[in-house]
Amino acid sequence: MAEENKNKETQEIEVQDVAGMETASQPEAEKQQENPEKFLKEFNWHNYEEGIDPIDDEKLEEFEKLVEENFVDTLDDEVVTGKVINITDRDAIIDINAKSEGVISLNEFRYNPDLKEGDDVEVLIDVREDATGQLILSHRKARVIKAWERVNKAHDESLVVNGFIKCRTKGGMIVDVFGIEAFLPGSQIDVKPIRDYDAYVGKNMEFKVVKINHEFKNVVVSHKALIEADIEEQKKEIIGQLEKGQVLEGTVKNITSYGVFVDLGGVDGLVHITDLSWSRINHPNEIVELDQKLNVVILDFDESKSRIQLGLKQLSQHPWDALDENLKVGDNVKGKVVVIADYGAFIEVAEGVEGLIHVSEMSWSTHLRSAQDFVNVGDEVEAQILTLDREDRKMSLGIKQLTQDPWTDITSKYPVGSKHKGIVRNFTNFGVFVELEEGIDGLIYISDLSWTKKIKHPSEFTNVGDELEVVVLELDVEGRKLSLGHKQIEDNPWDKYEKDFGVGTKHTAEITEIVDKGATIDFNEDITAFIPQRHLEKEDGSKLKKGEEAEFQIIEFNKEFKRVVASHMVIHKEEEQKIVKQAAKKSAAQNKDNTTTIGDVNADLQALKDKMEGKK
């Protein structure tokens, strides 16, 4: 029907044009007859050759007006509204009031399964006319163009738009807004942290367009921005009424390792982990859970009231105020180890009431150790109250006080001269600390480690953890000091060596080492003697060498400093002196008998000299 109407209108226009042309030709003929020369001179030969008939300007204007009223401009960059006039199995026929109808594939209307004849749709002229003269339209392209116009308008004018959440994506959701896929960041879904993103998929929600990237055709929307304005008003109202000490009801919004964020109805406050409970806790989730409603007290806030410090434990009585009034110093209490430090352990003797056991109060031992050597977190222990300050809420405890002080009967257990076994616990430059039992340590001075060895540091003699036999040398009960000795376990071998290697004794040995200013010889495992350089001289005047065996005489023996000096030279010098003494004695006897002459004496001396020089 529409096509028949258009044909009738076209025929009417063509009839009117012919009539107008006939009317216009009559005055032209009259002008030609009146002045043929002028007519020929002004005749438009170009229009004649091209077959162009002149038309009156008024008729042209009237024709253009009729076209404008009845036909659309079929430009391909403008969105127009058309009407569905027919639907086939594959296409929809759209009338856009042009010379012919347009065709759009039904695939472009999949989002609208209820499309029917008579519906108005927005279309874009994709192809003006195909090979068959058919006008090809696009509804999808028209939707995209219109969608971007609407999105830009919503962004510029801060309008609220409806969108459909299609699916999840990395960092947020994909939302269909006017047919455009927009990105909804996870942080912009709600003012509260989102724990289940999948719960939002398939929902229609209102959004605000917050960002458009025209270059990459990206759109970012926010649902959070819509509710923040309302929340801001609520927040101002709540903050204006805040006062320290005020108790408010809130909802647990977020739980962290350091505390809990509570929503007070549009404004958040923080309950630090130390303000959740009077007792020590490892994590806030031991006390509260997400979305839990609870009462909190306002402890403090800054001038702008943007940071609000809340408390939960302050709503209950302080445990120290409920502590048994009859509890006093000297009483024994039981508790659980809640915290261990290098210097001691904290024991919870009642809920919220803790006492410190210093490491020095865990054992009678004076040996330095860590609290971890005695207790572990969670252990149930019994201790004695050493100090109790209810005003400052402090308590110190002790474990070692539950056992007898080992120094109370020290004189009977460790009398001077008694022998015992102990464990090496520590070294110093001057000695070794040996533990005889828990709480009883004694010191062995480096000089009391060995009778014979010269020790520069205790580590040369023993190791930490070794067991040593000791003798109690001195006992200071008042000063709690014990002096021990190790070498005293055995008799001093130098008492015997003093006799065996006394001055003047002679021994045969081998030169062990040549050293500065002399040499050394080893008489046994304990005694090493030194031979000065000049005492190495042999009878023939040469010097003893390393590995050479000879006879030596002890010329110095010091038991206190363990010093022994020997000489080989005095052996043959002594022989020389002996011969001289014998000759002198013989000479004296001869003088007595008047039988000896000066010549005889000289002969004897000459013989001695020859013997010493090796001539005889």
Instruction: Please give the average per-residue pLDDT across 128-152, as a whole number.
Output: 75
Contact predicate 93/101, CB 8 Å: yes
* 62 or 517, which is more confident: 517
Checking if the pLDDT of 430 tops 80, the result is yes
154 phi/psi in degrees, rounded to 5: -65, -35
User: In the prediction, which pLDDT does 105 show?
Assistant: 81
User: How confident is residue 139, by pLDDT bands cut at 50, 70 and 90?
Assistant: confident
The average confidence (pLDDT) of the chain is 78
Checking if the pLDDT of 214 tops 60, the result is yes
Residue of 148, 144, 150, 100 lying closest to 122 (CA atoms): 144
Find where tokens 């258009």 sit.
6
Instruction: Please give the average per-residue pLDDT across 440-469, as a whole number.
Output: 86
Checking if the pLDDT of 11 tops 50, the result is no
Q: What is the pLDDT of residues 70-127, one digit of tens each?
A: 444 444 557 788 888 888 888 888 888 776 778 888 887 777 778 888 888 888 776 6
Burial of residue 359, with CB atoms counted within 10 A of its CB: 0-12 exposed, 13-18 middle, 19 or more buried:
buried
Q: Which of 18-22, 215-219, 253-257 shows the highest mean pLDDT?
A: 253-257
Q: What is the pLDDT of residues 243-281, one digit of tens each?
A: 888 888 888 988 998 999 988 877 788 999 988 888 888
User: In the prediction, which pLDDT does 396 show?
Assistant: 92
Instruction: Please give the average per-residue pLDDT across 284-294, as a whole number.
Output: 89
Checking if the pLDDT of 401 tops 80, the result is yes
User: How confident is residue 12, by pLDDT bands cut at 50, 70 and 90?
Assistant: very low
Instruction: Count Cβ atoms below 10 Å from residue 227 Cβ, excluding itself.
Output: 15
User: How confident is residue 584, by pLDDT bands cut at 50, 70 and 90?
Assistant: low
User: In the prediction, which pLDDT does 42 show?
Assistant: 66
User: In the prediction, which pLDDT does 360 show?
Assistant: 84
Checking if the pLDDT of 295 tops 70, the result is yes
Contact predicate 448/473, CB 8 Å: yes
- Distance of alpha carbon 448 from alpha carbon 459, whole angstroms: 14
Instruction: Please give the average per-residue pLDDT across 337-350, as a whole number.
Output: 88
User: In the prediction, which pLDDT does 72 show?
Assistant: 47
What share of the chain has pLDDT > 70, as a percent? 76
User: In the prediction, which pLDDT does 13 show?
Assistant: 42
Does the CA dihedral 183-187-191-197 come out positive or negative?
Answer: positive
DSSP state of 322: G
Q: What is the pLDDT of residues 57-76, one digit of tens each?
A: 666 566 566 545 544 444 45
Instruction: Count Cβ atoms below 10 Å from residue 99 Cβ, excluding itself.
Output: 15
User: In the prediction, which pLDDT does 100 show?
Assistant: 72
Q: The tokens of 516 are what?
A: 């500065």
Could you tell me how far CA 246 lies from the centroid of its own chain? 38
Expressed in angstroms, the distance from the first to the final Cα of the chain is 169
Checking if the pLDDT of 425 tops 80, the result is yes
Checking if the pLDDT of 288 tops 70, the result is yes
Q: Is 339 helix (H, G, I), strand (E, B) or coil?
A: strand
Cα Dmax for the chain? 213
Q: Which of 299-308, 401-410, 428-437 shows the highest mean pLDDT?
A: 428-437
Checking if the pLDDT of 388 tops 80, the result is yes
Instruction: Please give the average per-residue pLDDT across 449-475, as a whole number.
Output: 86
Instruction: Count Cβ atoms below 10 Å from residue 557 Cβ, excluding itself.
Output: 22
Q: What is the pLDDT of residues 25-52, one digit of tens each?
A: 455 555 555 666 666 666 666 665 655 5
Q: Is 213 helix (H, G, I), strand (E, B) or coil?
A: strand
User: Within a 13 Å sphere around the CA of 403, how many CA atoms are in the beta-carbon half?
Assistant: 11
User: In the prediction, which pLDDT does 272 show?
Assistant: 92
Instruction: Please give the average per-residue pLDDT across 151-173, as a whole number.
Output: 86
Could you tell me how far CA 566 lies from the centroid of its own chain? 70
Instruction: Please give the average per-residue pLDDT across 410-428, as a whole number.
Output: 87
Instruction: Please give the average per-residue pLDDT across 389-418, as a whole number.
Output: 86
User: In the prediction, which pLDDT does 616 show?
Assistant: 44
Instruction: Please give the average per-residue pLDDT across 545-557, as a whole number.
Output: 88
Checking if the pLDDT of 352 tops 50, the result is yes
Contact predicate 415/445, CB 8 Å: no
User: In the prediction, which pLDDT does 24 show?
Assistant: 44
User: In the prediction, which pLDDT does 591 show?
Assistant: 55
Checking if the pLDDT of 607 tops 70, the result is no
Q: The tokens of 127 are what?
A: 């192809």
Checking if the pLDDT of 7 tops 50, the result is no
User: How confident is residue 4, by pLDDT bands cut at 50, 70 and 90?
Assistant: very low
Checking if the pLDDT of 16 tops 60, the result is no
Instruction: Please give the average per-residue pLDDT across 498-522, as a whole number.
Output: 87
Strands (E), 88-199: 91-95, 102-105, 120-127, 135-138, 160-169, 172-177, 180-185
- Distance of alpha carbon 212 from alpha carbon 183, whole angstroms: 10
229 phi/psi in degrees, rounded to 5: -65, -45
Q: What is the pLDDT of residues 355-364, one digit of tens each?
A: 999 988 888 7
Q: Is 304 helix (H, G, I), strand (E, B) or coil?
A: coil
